[in-house]
Amino acid sequence: MIKNVHGNTLDLLGEAIVAGRYAVGASVPPEPVLCEELGVSRTVIREAVKSLIAKGMVSTGPKVGTRVLPRDTWNWFDPDVIIWQSKIGLTAEFLRDLQDLRRLIEPAAVRMAAERATPANIAEIQAAYDGMHKVVHEGGDYVMYDLRFHQGLLKACQNRMLIQMNKALSALLRTSFEISTTRPDGPRQSLPLHKAVLDAVIAKNPAKAEKAILVLIDGAHEDIEQVLARRNRPVKHDKPAAWLKAA
């Protein structure tokens, strides 16, 4: 997606903060300096700073300028924040927090999906699974279909609040999927786990659906732990997910 000047400026400032170029508690350079560094107008800088304030990353005040806030105040459900962190590098702590979040939300969501899914919901989840199956055998973008599968499960809950969370959760889930699928033959091995979730939702069996999603989440957790064990630095995802090659 091609971004406008505001979007590009926001990305540059956001990534600089996440990377620690502007440290927590430190001041971001004043507007004239940023205008010169980034080659944009004061209006663009001000709009970008407003966006960063809304994400909980900076605060402004008279005589103190724009200061970087502690990471605990950042909105970790904001897709931009997740993307910036992915580009800089995902720490083991971040990835384990993500897995904890999945274990809290997805089992309950899948139970609801098994109870409430409409035929249209099931068709959407089935189509995503079929896409995953096809990619494993013929090649393509596995992560895209994996994400659609889990998005479909959240929609099937028929809960407006969970549906509203879909965008933020999708950014987090994509991060998890892009890492876990780097394991050799990981997507192929995950297919039957996804099928078990789908079958339980179709059968309207909440207990079985919950058990199946927990097996799937724990499998992804093991994949991520193995990826982390092979690296002694944060995991970066500054490029699109790799496409699977045809079997």
Based on the domain organization, do 41 and 89 belong to the same domain?
no
Q: What is the dihedral of CA 70, 75, 80, 83, to 10 degrees?
A: 70
Mean pLDDT check: name the lowest of 65-74, 77-86, 123-132, 176-185. Answer: 176-185
CATH code, 168: 1.20.120.530
In this structure, is residue 244 part of a structural domain? no
How do residues 22-79 score in pLDDT, each as one tens digit? 999 999 999 999 999 999 999 999 999 999 999 999 999 888 899 999 999 999 888 8
**Residue with the two structure tokens 């990377």:** 19
Domain match, 169 and 131 both:
yes
- Is 19 in the same domain as 85? no
Structural domain containing residue 41: 5-73
Q: Is residue 245 domain-resident?
A: no
Q: How confident is the model at residue 87 (pLDDT cuts 50, 70, 90)?
A: confident
Within this chain, do residues 119 and 98 fall inside the same structural domain, yes or no?
yes
Residue with the bigger pLDDT between 1 and 163: it is 163
**What pLDDT was estimated at residue 7?**
93
Assigned domain for 238 exists: no
40 in a structural domain: yes
Please check whether residues 103 and 203 belong to one and the same domain: yes
Separation in Å, CA 37 to CA 32, 51, 203 = 9, 19, 59
pLDDT at 243 > cutoff 60: no
For tokens 């971004």, the residue is 3
CATH of the domain at 63: 1.10.10.10
Residue 234 lies in a domain: no
Give the chain's mean pLDDT: 88
Helices 166-180 and 206-229 sit at what angle, rounded to 10 degrees?
Answer: 50
Mean pLDDT for 192-196 is: 96
pLDDT value at residue 54: 97
pLDDT (tens digit per residue) in 93-114: 888 888 888 899 999 999 999 9
> Cα–Cα distance between 206 and 237 in angstroms, integer?
35
- Single out the residue of 139, 101, 125, 100 nearest to residue 196, CA to CA: 125
pTM across the whole model: 0.78
- Domain contains 215: yes
Among 94, 139, 126, smallest CA distance to 194 is for 126
**Could you tell me if 211 and 159 are in contact, meaning their C-beta atoms sit under 8 angstroms apart?**
no
Q: Which residue type occupies 60? A: T
Distance CA 175, CA 169 (A): 10
Of 28, 52, 73, which residue sits at a domain end?
73
State the pLDDT confidence band at 21, using cuts at 50, 70 and 90.
Answer: very high
Residue 207 has pLDDT above 70, yes or no: yes
Q: How many folded domains does the chain comprise?
A: 2
